[in-house]
Chain A
Amino acid sequence: GDSVTQMEGPVTLSEEAFLTINCTYTATGYPSLFWYVQYPGEGLQLLLKATKADDKGSNKGFEATYRKETTSFHLEKGSVQVSDSAVYFCALGNQGGKLIFGQGTELSVKP
């Protein structure tokens, strides 16, 4: 069945460091791919999305490119801030409209 595998956390970075959180997927068909973020004590928010191969989603300085050849959707940010500390979830949306989530990666950014 469809699945998502994320880089394990927690990830601890200093402010202004470069961030990469790896995400790979297994799916039949052509899923949409998403990154969701969960800030401490808050609900789940969509960060960015890509709906077809080679699409790049971007938001708040974060980017991810839908790579069909490597079945990946890695999240990147050039310079992280303390306010980016959160748990990040990679997810795929399959044909039935369901979301399948990765295990989540906790990011902690230190000043």
Chain B
Amino acid sequence: SAVISQKPSRDICQRGTSLTIQCQVDSQVTMMFWYRQQPGQSLTLIATANQGSEATYESGFVIDKFPISRPNLTFSTLTVSNMSPEDSSIYLCSVPGTGGKPQHFGDGTRLSIL
């Protein structure tokens, strides 16, 4: 399985600020996914990031709030903009498995907004 590194692993931020989360994969992948897990809740897909094209956002998520970059086949960033306490969540990136294997997840970024 791919090895996924997410940075930072956790952060505490002030409301109104923005934070960029990095996701690095040890192999080239076409698609990368970004999820949000609010406290005590399930995972919700934010967007799919394809290299060389705009990210595709799910209903309820917009580019202005969660801009995504995908500069190459091993790296992506998710920015959480103008944060409010409601953005306190775990943010996870994942990549599709190879050979029909399921998605593999990074350890996530635990974000708290004061």
Interface residues of A (CB under 8 A from B): 32, 34, 36, 42-46, 49, 51, 89, 93, 97-104
Contact = CB atoms under 8 A, between A and B. Distances in A.
B42 A43 contact: no
A93 B94 CA distance: 13
B23 to A, nearest CB: 12
Given A49-B102, A89-B43, A99-B102, 20 more contacts: A32-B102, A34-B102, A43-B108, A44-B43, A46-B104, A51-B100, A89-B42, A93-B102, A93-B103, A97-B31, A97-B103, A98-B33, A99-B33, A99-B94, A99-B103, A100-B45, A101-B43, A101-B44, A103-B42, A104-B41
A43 B44 CA distance: 15
A4 B106 CA distance: 22
Interface in B71-104: 92, 94, 96, 100, 102-104
Contacts of B105: 36, 43-45
Name, among A36, A44, A99, the residue most crowded by chain B CB atoms within 10 Å (CB to CB).
A44
A6 B54 CA distance: 33
Interface of B: 31, 33, 41-45, 48, 92, 94, 96, 100, 102-108
A21 to B, nearest CB: 14
A36 B35 CA distance: 14
Contacts of A104: 41-42
What 5 A-B pairs come out closest when comparing CB atoms?
A43-B107, A44-B105, A101-B42, A103-B42, A101-B43
